[in-house]
Amino acid sequence: MQKLFIQFFILISGLLISQQKYYILFDNSKDEIIYFYHNKSKNIEGFNVCIDNKKYIKFLPSDIKSNYTKNTFNKESIISRTFLNKLLKEDTPSKENKYIIVIKTKSMYKYYFVDHIFRTIRD
């Protein structure tokens, strides 16, 4: 029984450690929000995030219920676009990385959880 508990603990620890959260700060001048309209309401369908001046990555929302708003944000947790490009080249669905797009509006920060599996590269 003790061996089974240890194996279960190791398995769960491995799954939790493999999931990384990466914060992407939305750049209003380069990135774009893709909207769709339903019953006269405007909803976010996805994001086109500029990696360099030519390459865009399309992210789609993964868990709309998890989106939230905060007054503060730790800017040290933001990843650079160069690092994001490297991550996406090495990314696989088995890594289960979590990407969160952060949009600053006046004095608030809006967090949008986006899925790494549904992305396309547009050159």
Domain limits, the chain: 20-122
The model's pLDDT over 57-100, given as tens digits with 9 standing for 90+, comes to 888 888 777 788 888 888 888 999 999 888 888 877 677 788 89
Q: How far apart are CA 47 and CA 115, in angstroms?
A: 11
Tokens of 97: 């990385």
Contact 81, 51 (CB under 8 A): yes
CA 28 to chain CA mean position, Å: 17
Confidence bin at 6 (pLDDT 50/70/90): low
Tens-place pLDDT, residues 111-123: 998 876 544 444 4
Pairing between β-strand 68-70 and β-strand 32-38 as defined by DSSP bridges: unpaired
- 21 phi and psi, to 5 degrees? -105, 130
